Amino acid sequence: MIENMPDTAFTNPSWYQSLKKKTMAGDEPPPPPLRLDITSLYYLGPQDRPGDFITPTRLCGENYNEWADDIQTALEARRKFVFLDGTITSPSSCTAMDWKMIHAMLVSWIMNTVDPEIKCTLSKYKDAKQLWDTLKTRFATVNGPQIQQLRKAIARCEQPKTMPVVKYFGKLTTLWEELNKHEPLITCSCCSKCTAGAEHEKRRESTRLHDFLMGLNAEHHAQIRSNILSNDPLPT
């Protein structure tokens, strides 16, 4: 019994005393206390298993953006996306084993949501970030025709007479968000006073306002649209 005693026995007297009592009574000893605190980013609970499907979305290639968003959401809910986005880059000597355990679990979770035809083309990964980056490089390509299709869909998005404004705005928002994935806002760090990013965002919002107003049902909202468009600058 003493041969199998974990190191925690000497740092956790209460567990050791419990072990002595249980052993003397002929019962099985209780399990040792958790080695990792539940607040640790390395912590995996008993409900976390390699065979879990953390999202129902399966990567088949063309749906990479949707799949990646769902994976990110699922891992952020588990506080594990930090291992894929570069926040935690390498383990210290005391966390090397936990590092391997976390990445083995993440690789399993990601591979469980990849289509078998894609899965068979992937190498055996031990580092989840390398797997994540490989899939991103392979499938997250900025596609000129796709951007053109989204712009065309936005231009054609109109509010029918029977459609509430809220639902019409929701349809437009979905298209805008999809376009944003291919055309992210400009980021500039040339100096602390640089306004390039803010100016880009301002222009984007102005374009969205035009998109929204031009698609409003003319019969019901023509006057409101005309009044807003006559303002310079446009309201935000």
For residues 35 and 8, the answer to whether their CB atoms sit within 8 Å is: yes
Residue 141 pLDDT more than 80?
A: no
What is the percentage of the chain residues whose pLDDT exceeds 70?
80
Q: Which residue has the higher pLDDT, 107 or 40?
A: 107
Q: Quick one: pLDDT band at residue 55, thresholds 50, 70, 90?
A: very high
Instruction: Give the mean model confidence (pLDDT) for residues 82-92.
Output: 85
Q: Which residue has the higher pLDDT, 196 or 138?
A: 138
Tell me what pLDDT residue 211 has. Answer: 92
The chain-wide mean pLDDT, for the chain, equals 81
According to the per-residue pLDDT averaged within each range, which of 31-40, 75-84, 210-219 is highest?
A: 75-84
Residue 29 pLDDT more than 70?
A: no
Instruction: Give the mean model confidence (pLDDT) for residues 132-152.
Output: 85
Instruction: Give the mean model confidence (pLDDT) for residues 133-147.
Output: 83
Tell me what pLDDT residue 35 has. Answer: 56
For the record, the structure tokens of 116 come out as: 């078998």
Tell me what pLDDT residue 5 has. Answer: 43
Tell me what pLDDT residue 12 has. Answer: 47
d(CA 105, CA 115): 18
Q: Quick one: pLDDT band at residue 8, thresholds 50, 70, 90?
A: very low
